[in-house]
Amino acid sequence: MNIFFKIFLIIILLFLGFCIGFFYFNNKIINLDDNQQIENGALTDEQLKEKIGQMLMVGFRGIEAPEDYYIYNVIKDVKVGSVILSDYDVPSKSFPRNIINPEQTKKLISNLQRYTDTPLFVAVDVEGGMVNRLKEKYGFSSIISAEKMGDDKTLETVNEESIKLAKELRDLGFNLNLAPVVDVNINPNNPIIGILGRSFSSSPEIVINNARIFIQNHIDKDIITVEKHFPGHGSSTKDSHLGLVDITNTYNKEKELIPYQKLNDEGLLNMVMTAHIINRNIDKDYPATLSKIFLQDILRDQIGFEGVIISDDIQMSAISDMYGFEEAIIMAVNAGCDIINVYNNSTEYDETAIYKARDAIFNAVKEDRIKEEKIIESYNRILNLKKKFNLYEPKNNIFLEDFEINEKITEISSENFELIGEPNTLTFGEALEYAKYVEDVTEIDPAFLLAILKHEMNLVKEFGLCYVTDLETGEGIKVDNDEKMSKVIKPERDVEPFLKITKDLGLDPYKTPITCPMSFGWGGAMGVADFIPSTWARYEDRVKNIIGRPANPWNIRDSFLVAGLYLSESGASLRTRQGEWNAAMIYFSGSTKSGYNWYANDALAIADEIRSKIKTIENNK
């Protein structure tokens, strides 16, 4: 074959391949789920309505959700992706709307989740202070205001309050908190932010530092936070619940965007709420909720936010009075809102509002006023966030049918929880009770403590247990086969405290098992918590004051407690991912810079698995 003909043939084939690839990739959208791809223009009406449903958050009246009730029908008919609960019904100016007490609230959420194929975002507004739908008088925890949290420069207050809050939200079944407010308190006389104590501070840095801890503590409990009110409501002089607020002459762009930029850079922003405010210096025509300049150019492109954008209540007077309900929804979607909040808790209650919202978006797509690609993009963002927080698969460690509950709890609780030297002593349920006891003393997450103990057991299982035979050289033998070993215990560091511990407990040091050395370093660690004697000795007096007797490394309860104290002092009491990572590094190597990152990474992965089990048990009790 002529060489020129071959070259010509190759060029033709390459051109055809390019054309096919171009046509394919320009007619495909990213995966909607693991099993389905949707082509542009290929959505059926039913598919389109289902995806629009995920973009809607609905508020409703009712402290129960029986199958013949309004909200049941909305979930089934509209297939909404989110619901929002409140204690007070604004249109009727009366209590209750949805929330009476913890037991009733948990049952309501459980029922709502059972009615849907794709688990719901179940939202509540708990900032603390005056904005708190879970009030202490109903039996919920008392949460102080953001302003009071921000007054504590040590950040201990925001840490304590947000841990308490996130745990309560998780226990109730909520997975979305419309908090924290990251507005900078530019105007302390602001009627909707400053006067109500909703801002952490007038300093962007203090806002960021407090919000960082607030958000991370929620994430650690699988609660998604919603940072608000973008692009910043702190300088306003009016309340956007009552009408459109103009911040053109008061807005401080340099200060008010910093929290969003910094928190997004740190990977902490998952959902952002828009504000119904207008700044004519930035967008002369539209308020932020309806503004492509604010949501696309600034939030998406400049700040780099890739998560979910949710509108503030679309029925608030600031929007509905000026643009009309349906038109405002279409504008908000085109501007960049992924979720439209139809709170139905403003001046009037309209049970048809959520249907009108769905139909407005659906008809706009059909009329080409909203691009179908926009619906799919928002749908994917929402599902990606649900997947990130283990909400995508129905009943995935969330709420189980009644007939499954006892069986699932029993299955998890009765699993064997193997410990060093105690292969068949504890079940998972029993180990969890020990870990919760330690939580009361140290404030560390039970899942993290159990993860460390499990991780240690896995390592020791590989290298085995030894007896020391020569205290001067540190040599010994393996317990199971008498194989001679060197470096069983480090003489200059651990022999003296080891002898004291065994003497105090009446044990024979030559017949007391300790860990064999790994492929590097020394062995000599004691008991189920795998403590070297010199480290254990640091906690003897403290533990004795707690339990009233000498601590025993080979006693399960004592070992759990000492491990908890050590981890707590090493950063785990912060209950943040970074704090637990640091604690794991220190537990294994004594330093966060030792290079054994694999240990800390594995420990956090194990903790995530254990949290999933705990979540299944606690959410279905």
Fold of 54-362+375-388: TIM Barrel (3.20.20)
- The arithmetic mean of pLDDT across residues 287-301, rounded, is 98
Q: What is the pLDDT of residue 405?
A: 64
Q: Considering the chain, what percentage of its residues have pLDDT values greater than 70?
A: 90
The answer, yes or no, to whether residue 534 has pLDDT greater than 50, is: yes
Q: Where are the alpha helices (DSSP H) in 496-539?
A: 496-505, 533-537
Q: Where are the alpha helices (DSSP H) in 464-547?
A: 496-505, 533-537, 540-547
The answer, yes or no, to whether residue 503 has pLDDT greater than 90, is: yes
First to last CA, the chain: 77
CB 569, CB 562: distance < 8 Å: no
Q: What is the pLDDT of residue 512?
A: 97
Q: What is the pLDDT of residue 238?
A: 85
Q: Among 28-37, 43-52, 220-229, 559-568, which stretch is predicted with the lowest mean pLDDT?
A: 28-37
Q: Among 17-31, 113-127, 286-300, 311-325, which stretch is predicted with the lowest mean pLDDT?
A: 17-31
Identify the bridge partners of residue 467 per DSSP, sorted by sequence position: 477
Beta-strand pair 56-59/131-132: unpaired
Residue 589 binned pLDDT confidence (cut-offs 50, 70, 90): very high
Beta-strand pair 176-177/121-124: parallel
Q: What are phi and psi of 233, to 5 degrees?
A: -110, 5
Query: Greater confidence, 520 or 86?
Result: 86
- The arithmetic mean of pLDDT across residues 599-607, rounded, is 92
Residue 23 binned pLDDT confidence (cut-offs 50, 70, 90): very low
Amino acid, single-letter form, for residue 574: L
Give the residue numbers marked as catalytic: 241, 312
Residue 11 binned pLDDT confidence (cut-offs 50, 70, 90): low
- The arithmetic mean of pLDDT across residues 25-42, rounded, is 41
CB 188, CB 202: distance < 8 Å: yes
Query: Greater confidence, 56 or 410?
Result: 56
Query: Greater confidence, 108 or 241?
Result: 108
Q: Cα(407)–Cα(1) distance, rounded to whole angstroms?
A: 72
| Segments making up each domain of the chain, as ranges | 54-362+375-388, 403-619
Residue 620 binned pLDDT confidence (cut-offs 50, 70, 90): low
Residue 24 binned pLDDT confidence (cut-offs 50, 70, 90): very low
The answer, yes or no, to whether residue 28 has pLDDT greater than 60, is: no
Amino acid, single-letter form, for residue 264: N
Q: What is the pLDDT of residue 266?
A: 94
Chain-centre distance for alpha carbon 271: 11
Tell me the per-residue pLDDT of 93-134, one tens digit each, with 9 for 90 and over: 999 999 999 999 999 999 999 999 899 999 999 999 999 999
C-alpha triplet 15, 18, 24: angle, nearest 5°: 145
Fold of 403-619: Lysozyme (1.10.530)
Q: Cα(364)–Cα(117) distance, rounded to whole angstroms?
A: 26
Q: What is the pLDDT of residue 31?
A: 37
- The arithmetic mean of pLDDT across residues 607-620, rounded, is 83
Helix (H, G, I), strand (E, B) or coil at 33: strand
Q: Among 34-48, 182-196, 201-215, 234-248, which stretch is predicted with the lowest mean pLDDT?
A: 34-48
Tell me the per-residue pLDDT of 34-68, one tens digit each, with 9 for 90 and over: 334 344 457 899 999 999 999 999 999 999 999 98
Q: Cα(86)–Cα(132) distance, rounded to whole angstroms?
A: 9
CB 614, CB 598: distance < 8 Å: no
Is the C-alpha dihedral spanning 533, 536, 540, 546 positive or negative?
A: negative
- The arithmetic mean of pLDDT across residues 305-311, rounded, is 97
Q: What is the pLDDT of residue 228?
A: 98
DSSP 598: H
Q: What is the pLDDT of residue 525?
A: 96
The whole model's pTM is what?
A: 0.64
Closest by CA to 208, choosing from 216, 218, 219, 220, is: 216
Lookup: tokens for 338? 């992924």
- The arithmetic mean of pLDDT across residues 483-493, rounded, is 96
Neighbouring residues of 441: CB distance < 8 A, sequence distance ≥ 6 = 546, 561, 564, 565
- The arithmetic mean of pLDDT across residues 500-506, rounded, is 95
Q: What is the pLDDT of residue 70?
A: 96
DSSP per-residue string spanning 241-279: TTSPEE-TTT--HHHHSHHHHHHHHTT--SEEEE-SEE-
Tell me the per-residue pLDDT of 361-393, one tens digit each, with 9 for 90 and over: 999 999 999 999 999 999 999 999 999 888 865
The answer, yes or no, to whether residue 17 has pLDDT greater than 80, is: no
Chain-centre distance for alpha carbon 440: 22
The answer, yes or no, to whether residue 173 has pLDDT greater than 60, is: yes
Beta-strand pair 176-177/224-230: parallel
CB 276, CB 287: distance < 8 Å: yes
The answer, yes or no, to whether residue 397 has pLDDT greater than 50, is: no
